[in-house]
Amino acid sequence: NVDSALAVITGSDSRVSKALYRRIASAPDWRRTWLEHLGLTEDTIFRTGMEIDFDRCIVVAVFGGDSFNTCGYKIEAVHENENTIVVRFCIIGYQTAGPGGGAQHVMPYAFVLLPKTKKAVVLEEITHSLNPSERPSSREVARLTVDEK
């Protein structure tokens, strides 16, 4: 039963400029996604690397695209249902002040490592209100299924 991510890597310095969600289950797909994240078109030994055991794991990539004032994503919950694995996440945001508001341009991302599964992975984004009396809301942003090749 899946009730947490095996690992999460998150930050705000991706080179993926459009919001994008991917289920990655093979080394070639991982290499393509990782290079895109780094802003590289060709592989090189002079890059940051990360290896994944795709015999045991999958990676779910969450790219926020062009954004402001966020450090990345927090994975709030992971739980398995009969037909899906649900990953709930929210931004890790901050406020700025300064000329023009002082907003910091960023491109947030998260790589979520999960046990290998054939179930669909449902991504739900949680939005927290600035009003403490309001409850957070969530919405499904992606349903990532196994590629039928």
Q: How confident is the model at residue 131 (pLDDT cuts 50, 70, 90)?
A: confident
pLDDT in tens, 25-69: 999 999 999 999 999 988 777 778 888 999 999 999 999 999 999
d(CA 56, CA 77): 21
pTM (two decimals): 0.90
Residues 138, 149: Cα–Cα separation, whole Å: 32
- From 70, 29, 31, 69, select the one nearest 50 (Cα to Cα): 31
Using an 8 Å Cβ cutoff, are 33 and 40 in contact? no
pLDDT, residue 65, reads 96
The share of the chain scoring above pLDDT 90, in percent, equals 72
Predicted local distance difference test score (pLDDT) of residue 149:
43
Q: Which amino acid is at 8?
A: V
Q: What is the DSSP letter of 73?
A: E
Phi, psi of 116 (to 5 degrees): -60, 135
Measured distance between the N- and C-terminal CA atoms of the chain, rounded to whole angstroms? 27
Q: How far is CA 111 from the centre of its chain?
A: 5
- The pLDDT of residue 111: 98
Q: Is the pLDDT of residue 129 over 90?
A: no
Query: Considering the chain, what is the average pLDDT of its residues?
Result: 92
pLDDT at 148: 52
**Which amino acid is present at 67?**
S
Given a contact cutoff of 8 angstroms between Cβ atoms, the answer to whether 116 and 55 are in contact is yes
